[in-house]
Amino acid sequence: MCYTQNRFNALLSACVLSLVATAGWSQSLTWLGTLPGYDRSYANAVSADGAVVVGWATNAAGRYRAFRWTELGGMQDLGTLGGGDSWAYGVSADGAVVVGEAYNAALRSRAFRWTASGGMQDLGALGGSVSGASGVSADGAVVVGWATNAAGRSRAFRWTALGGMQGLGTLPGGNNSGANAVSADGAVVVGEAENAARQRRAFRWTAAGGMQDLGTLGGCCSTAYDVSADGSVVVGGAANGAGYDRAFRWTALGGMQDLGTLPGYDRSYAYGVSADGAVVVGTAGQWRAFRWTASGGMEDLNTTYASLLTNGSVLREARAISPNGRYIVGWGYNAATNRIEAFLLDTGFPLRGDVDRNGCVDGADLLQVLFAFGERGYRNEDLNWDGTVDGADLLQVLFNFGSGC
């Protein structure tokens, strides 16, 4: 393969700069606190670089508020649509767009899309009065969730600024559906829908193929909670033949794979998956956050990162993972404050700029970016997760060159 002029110039720049490592292997656990006047918090999504976390805070009076957290700004109350409560469920790759649901002045729950410049935008419904947004594409342009129609039935939706809210239907014979997540480019939607037997089933939707029932693990029901960047890997929870819910990982070739559970427990749920579908996070048994990989199986995050936990603190649910698999967010018990709190876990891997995930930022990573230079689509070489492999990704390798080596 021949280098383009841009690739040659980039490689020449790498040789001239000969940058020294600026980042090392680090692990950290950050408890995010809560909003003023609230006593608990829950994290539900994280930006690609781990800098932005979204979720909600609640108090003993039963009030809820959506938040957006950054290290510098702390926890920001995103407000409501005129009512008293709100919840944030998803965030774009750059952390600029937040989606969720909030009460309006009529005390109806409505799907929202929030930006710093535009505030909280009501996305409407499908002829009914209530809705909620659960997921958003990497660029923040496509929002998915659920909304009621004129008949009062819940329907999964896909929203864009140009097309508005599009109902995705339900499985044959079913009455209700809801979307939980969307692929990075907004083309693949996953969630749950009723079938003709009124059983809840995980689905995968595309414009070309419609809504596909992903089946179960031998039981009655299943739910899809997240999907990989290209839409090929789906994760969630499904009942097995013994009636216990188990975390699953689905692919078109392999079908629905039971990921098992932690020792001593009979249940598990998968809530998040990395961009390449290789790392899955969720909760098992009595609220134990886990991470799963094909090579390592299911590991208890409380065991793996015990050194980061003060005596008595517990990571209970891992709700989401960053595209590269480095950052995990969720909620747990913070012994230092004696309350339930949202957390941000930086696992330290992969290192920034480590495209091939071998623990060393070197020439191999540089070449991967160069050979993919100019390509569009969300992939490991797209280190800043903006949809294009470009100079910004190259610089991330260069600035961290030599780390871990």
Quick one: average pLDDT of 355-384? 94
pLDDT tens by residue, 227-259: 999 999 999 999 999 999 999 999 999 999 999
Residue 355 Cα distances to 13, 150, 380, 389, angstroms: 19, 48, 6, 12
Give pLDDT, residue 14. 39
Q: How confident is the model at residue 267 (pLDDT cuts 50, 70, 90)?
A: very high
Model confidence, pTM: 0.93
81: nearest Cα among 123, 31, 144, 51: 123
Give pLDDT, residue 10. 41
pLDDT tens by residue, 188-227: 999 999 999 999 999 999 999 999 999 999 999 999 999 9
Give pLDDT, residue 163. 97
Give pLDDT, residue 3. 37
Give pLDDT, residue 286. 83
Residue 18, pLDDT > 50, answer: no
Residue 310, pLDDT > 80, answer: yes
- Average pLDDT score over the chain: 93
Residue 92, pLDDT > 70, answer: yes
Percent of the chain with pLDDT over 70: 94
Domain 25-346: which CATH number of 3.90.1150.10, 2.120.10.30, 3.30.450.40, 2.30.42.10: 2.120.10.30
Residue 94 main-chain phi, psi, to 5 deg? -90, 0
192: nearest Cα among 242, 251, 241, 235: 235
Give pLDDT, residue 207. 98
pLDDT tens by residue, 352-369: 999 999 999 999 999 999
- Tell me the C-alpha distance between 303 and 93, whole Å: 29
Percent of the chain with pLDDT over 90: 92
- Tell me the C-alpha distance between 91 and 113, whole Å: 9
Quick one: average pLDDT of 46-74? 96
Instruction: Write the burial class of residue 359 (CB in 10 Å: 0-12 exposed, 13-18 middle, 19+ buried).
Output: middle
Q: Which amino acid, residue 89?
A: Y
Where exactly are the structural domains of the chain?
Answer: 1-24+364-405, 25-346
